A and B are shown apart, each in its own frame.
Chain A
Amino acid sequence: MKLRRVKAIAAKEVLQIWRDPRSLMIALLLPFTQMFLFGYGVNLDLKHIPTCTFDREGSQQSQDLFKRFQASNYFAITRNVDSYGALVAAIDRADCKIAVVVPPDFSERLNDVGTTSVQAILDATDDNTANIAIGYATAVVQGYSSDVQLAWLDRQGETLQQVQPLVVQSRVWFNEDLESRNFIIPGLVAVIMALVGAQLTSLTIAREWERGTMELLISTPVRKSEVMVGKLAPYLVLGWIDAAFCLAMAGLWFGVPFRGTLLTLFVTTTLFLAVVLSIGYLLSVLIPNQAGASQVALLVTMIPTVLLSGYVFPIDQMPWFIQQITYLIYSRYYVTIIKAVFLKGSGIPELALPILFLTIYATAVVVLALRAFRKRLD
């Protein structure tokens, strides 16, 4: 490989990127807008779920229960209704997603028998939200229930220990606030880099074919490896800039805690960039027109990365068959790595396995791309 020729190819590519507004927009504007939109837009947490209450008793206890709902971050009481009809209407109108109904004999039964029930009615058109809301509601009610029990036991003269031998003390590690944002945004960086990276390089070879400059290029002594290295080098630099920007935005703007080292981040990101840029290059070689190449690049990166990389949907919840397929999704490894570096502070030794997979992937794609590019017209 002659450095002179590699430099010539790289210099030319830089000039062409600089003078092509489309490339520049993809490189600089796209990551910023994507981070911004999806960083704020995607949020799996539920807070202030609109709630309406139907107090059929109207006692001190029922009001206490409702106060707990109000006090919890997760619920926001938007209205009180006084009939089932009004309740149903409220749900239909989407004034509330959950309605809590206290029966007319609530306090009576609590004081007497010790058991009663509280009704929760949910709008389950979004059943994910409904499930979570039920969970929260149950927790609130359980809390109230324990307090009632304690008070009752107090009156009987018993202690807590005898009645409730086991208490679950949960500690959440790595994402104490259980902020969904903290695990979504690092994954978002992976999605954006996968997308942008492949888009950038998917045009480079196709452009030369479309403009007619490829025929002359392959008639010179330049080698395939020189072409590849020369062409990818400027995009690697662009990729670093983009990645740095997105990661900085994740940490500094969105406040995702960063517990790892910059070195780990740099090494792993470079590896990932090598993979996505080479994939774009390979597509550019296989599809010699720009429109086609960039569309296929979009398909091949976007959908697998969003759905199967563990970005939002956990891999271990997928059917076994699909889980095996995710081993082929390169972004899966980077998603794992990024979340680990940010939230767990993992270093290179801990991430040896995903790093290894990424390296294998990169090697495979590079070899494929080199072989696919032929210095021939036929």
Chain B
Amino acid sequence: MNADQAAEAQVVAENLVKRFGSFVAVDNVSFRIARGEIMGFLGPNGAGKSTIIRVLCGLLRPSAGRAIVAGIDVTRDPEGVRERIGYMSQKFSLYRDLTVEENLKFFGGIYRVPRAELRERMRFAIDMAGLAGREHAIVATLAGGWQQRLALGCAVLHRPPILFLDEPTSGVEPASRRRFWELIHTLAADGVSILVSTHYMDEAEYCDRAALINQGRLIALDSPAALRRTALGGELLLVECDALGPALDALTQAPGVIDCSVFGSALHVLVADAEQGRRELPAFLASRGLSASRVERIAPSLEDVFVQLIAADTTKRREAA
């Protein structure tokens, strides 16, 4: 990021650390989010994604490091931060026994949206969520996807420049999830910086940049395309053959093969050079009495990438110790 972009950075985290007793939940995490950028936080449960978000929202004090959100130092003025952000927590936190409209009014009041604006903002939120005509429906009666979109609406009533969404698409249907992401893109187009955490690895595709978090550490931070190109350390081949077990054993020792694993009814083989692999592997298998019906290059999933990155990280830490 150059100086101009840094000046534009809406969210800055510098060497953030958060400890709970002796447990280090967030371990020296640094990143910046620019205006209008969608940053994805990926990682399994317990990786520290929610903790980082809560620190950025001023809900938790960092044990070390700095966090600056919308120009405000989070540790010094947590209340000030809250007025500039919208937050959707992991556990759905709208009031299920109130109606759509009542929820919006409530959050409008909490965020002190000026009365003159509130009507218009509520309209905006309702349209965004697709709930026009259902303003008086009790939230508990809405399906998951609708509730999520409503929660998003409540989070943007006060036009915050920054949004923190903690696993907003958990438990939501794929079609609803896509609709949700479309909304996020629309908001980002208006200049809102958005941090979204998720444990669906493939949702990284929707982000401008993805941060991979594992056990409190930031393992990687780049655009999804770049991650897939560079982080894997090789190219991925799909090999279909009849005897998976023996083929797996054989290929693990084949030249140019970095790693090999079963995937469904086929094998995924990580090779240094895909073209070379495509040429040589069928012959190699044949020499062991096995035949491959298909050998093709495939694009690695972000999960493949993540696995490799963790492995590399673990080795690095072991060597450093």
Are chains A and B touching in the complex at the 8 Å CB cutoff? no
